[in-house]
Amino acid sequence: MVNSERVLTSLRRGLVEFCTLAILRDGPAYGLDMARRLQSDGLIAGQSTLYPMLARVLSSGLAESEWVESPSGRPRKYYTLTDEGHEALRVFEESWGPLRDAVDHTLRRSS
Amino acid sequence: MTGDELPAAARLWLVAAEWELRHADARERDETLEGLRSHIAEALDRGERVEDILAGLGSPADVADGVDRKTGDLPGPQVAGEPVPARTRRRRVGADGSTGAGRVVHLIGFGLALLGAGWFSLLPGYVESTIDPATGQISGPTTHLLLFTMDPRAAGALAAAVLLTVVPLLVRRRPVRPVAVWIGALMVLLAVATTGWNVGWFLLPAAAATVVAAVLPNGSRKRRRRDGVAAVGRRLRVGYRGAARTPIVGPMNAAIIACGAPGGVGIQSGVDASDTGPARPRIGYGRSAEGHQRVSVSSSLLASGSTSVVPTAAGAISGVAASCPAAASGAGPIASIA
């Protein structure tokens, strides 16, 4: 049985990573902040799904991390977009627009 | 706050998440767990309740879903060079539990079973000659195939055996097929062993293929048919004329003599003790048709010298033997007079 949650889960895969890169384009961010932004935007269901994604982003060189002292005294791990990450995000944006339009066109035509 | 300083509920959640990540790349797993611990600690420092934090994180299983992105429909930017999670490296196995190799071998076994059954059926059952009691002229010999002369029950059993070989190929449920294959393999081997050089010889190639299919991982189901064939083979050997013959008897089929005894006297029964242990009526039947007697004798009986033919008229038998083509060609006496 296909339900909305299943459809969303399938659609989110692959997209959320670029959305994460988009968040980092605005500047360094740490995990808790990014997780809650993504969740509030409806891009992830559970905040925990962000962290394996961040691990992949780091291992692929699209972002890098560093520990920074926070005002509360606890070090925070900040993530920063690399040049490769910027390029990957640019390619995604170039592809996403036509893809989104194509999907919308197909859905409208078949309805 | 280190991991050990986190509340028990958070530590348990992290342990569960670590378990869910057991198939992930070690580096990414450590990075993920580090991020999760930092997330929980940061939220706790903000004064949030641990229950709310964990609820926001979701189920530990969700973490593994994020790792196993190979199952996703849309590739992300890290596809290239991304380590494949161990769970995606499983060997491809069919829904029925068979591997491609096992299925192929199973199909080969089925083909061999079919070939064996066909070969067996097309062997000459007996050669028949008739003697006109009035003129003394011998007509024939005419070769009769086992396909048309074997006992109907044996033919039915042979066909059933072939069908049984197909059934395991159609079994799709995983727990069923390996069991069927193994049982079939063992039964066919047993049948080959017990039938010796008779029907078992025809089953031997298929038995070998079935065993190979059975030992393959998640092996196939070929043996089950063999098994049925083997069971049929035992009945065949007992139940129809000439069943004692083996493939090596093929050339010897020429020595299968059918002679009619003049004067209504003929061989009425025979005993084959060559390969079945206890002697049992095997060959020889008398049938009257317009004064002709037709009798078939297995060549193996002649070769073994263990044949005991009971004539209704000894003198007539002797005369027939002397005039039979096989006897004349040196194949040996048709029968010994009891």
Provide the percentage of residues in chain A whose pLDDT is more than 70.
Answer: 96
> Where is pLDDT greater, at A15 or B330?
A15
Q: Do A46 and B59 touch (CB under 8 A)?
A: yes
State the Cα–Cα distance between residues B317 and B266, nearest whole angstrom.
7
What is the predicted pLDDT for the residue at B288? 31
| A101 Cβ contact partners less than 8 Å away, ≥ 6 residues apart | none
Can you read off the two tokens belonging to residue B308? Answer: 């005991």
Mutation choice for B interface testing from A15, A43, A51, A59 by most B CBs within 10 A: A51
Q: Do B39 and A45 touch (CB under 8 A)?
A: no
Q: Tell me whether B48 touches chain A (CB under 8 Å).
A: no
Count of positions (residues) in chain A: 111
What is the predicted pLDDT for the residue at B278? 36
Q: Do B1 and A74 touch (CB under 8 A)?
A: yes
What is the predicted pLDDT for the residue at B166? 67
Q: Tell me whether B19 touches chain A (CB under 8 Å).
A: no
Can you read off the two tokens belonging to residue B45? Answer: 């420092």
> Where is pLDDT greater, at A99 or B324?
A99
Query: Chain A residues contacting B, CB < 8 Å?
Result: 9-11, 13-15, 17-18, 21, 30-32, 35-36, 39, 45-60, 62, 70, 72, 74, 76-77, 85, 88, 92
What is the predicted pLDDT for the residue at B40? 92
State in Å, rounded, how far the first CA of chain A is from the last one. Answer: 21
Residue of A nearest to B38 (CA): A76
What 3-state class would DSSP assign to A46? coil
Nearest CA-CA distance, residue A99 and chain B, Å: 12
User: From residue B63, how far is each of B16, B19, B67, B182, B283 by CA, in Å?
Assistant: 10, 10, 7, 41, 76
Which helix (H) or strand (E) segment is B220 a member of?
Answer: none
Q: Do B39 and A51 touch (CB under 8 A)?
A: yes
Q: Do B78 and A52 touch (CB under 8 A)?
A: no
Q: Tell me whether B70 touches chain A (CB under 8 Å).
A: no
Q: Nearest 5 degrees, angle CA A28-CA B1-CA B68? A: 60
Q: Which of A31, A49, A72 sits opposite B38 (nearest CB)?
A: A31
Q: Which of A31, A88, A92 sits opposite B39 (nearest CB)?
A: A31
What is the predicted pLDDT for the residue at B258? 29
Closest by CA to B14, choosing from B23, B26, B34, is: B34
What is the predicted pLDDT for the residue at B135? 76
What is the predicted pLDDT for the residue at B78? 38
Confidence of residue A105 (pLDDT cuts 50, 70, 90): very high
What is the predicted pLDDT for the residue at A24? 95
Q: Which of A10, A35, A92 sits opposite B73 (nearest CB)?
A: A10
State the Cα–Cα distance between residues A90 and A92, nearest whole angstrom.
5
Contacts of B17 in chain A (CB under 8 A): 48
Confidence of residue A63 (pLDDT cuts 50, 70, 90): very high
Strand order in the sheet with A75-81: A29-30, A75-81, A63-69
Contacts of A30 in chain B (CB under 8 A): 38, 42
Is the predicted pLDDT of residue A70 greater than 70, yes or no?
yes
User: From residue B281, how far is each of B56, B256, B270, B273 by CA, in Å?
Assistant: 85, 17, 6, 9
What is the predicted pLDDT for the residue at B212? 77
Q: Tell me whether B38 touches chain A (CB under 8 Å).
A: yes
Question: What is the reported pTM?
Answer: 0.42
Closest by CA to A65, choosing from A11, A23, A28, A25, is: A28
Q: Do B77 and A47 touch (CB under 8 A)?
A: no
Residue of B nearest to A15 (CA): B76
Cβ–Cβ < 8 Å for B154, B207: no
Q: Where are the alpha helices (DSSP H) in B93-175?
A: 100-122, 146-149, 152-170
Average pLDDT over residues A17-29: 93
Going by the DSSP 8-state scheme, the letter that residue B217 receives in this structure is: T
Checking phi first, is residue A14 left (phi over 0); if not, alpha (psi -120 to 50) or beta? left
In the block, tokens 């006109």 appear at B132
Mutation choice for A interface testing from B20, B28, B78, B82 by most A CBs within 10 A: B78
- Could you read off the pLDDT tens digit of each residue along chain B, which spans 338 residues? 555 578 888 888 888 888 888 888 888 889 999 999 999 998 998 899 999 999 999 888 878 776 654 433 333 443 333 333 333 333 444 444 455 677 777 788 788 888 887 887 787 766 666 777 777 677 766 777 777 776 666 566 566 666 666 666 776 665 666 677 776 666 666 666 655 555 666 767 777 777 777 777 544 333 333 222 222 222 222 222 333 332 222 222 222 222 322 222 222 223 333 333 333 333 333 333 333 333 333 333 333 333 333 333 333 332 233 333 333 333 333 332 22
Mutation choice for A interface testing from B42, B54, B67 by most A CBs within 10 A: B42
Residue of A nearest to B29 (CA): A52
Is the predicted pLDDT of residue A34 greater than 90, yes or no?
yes
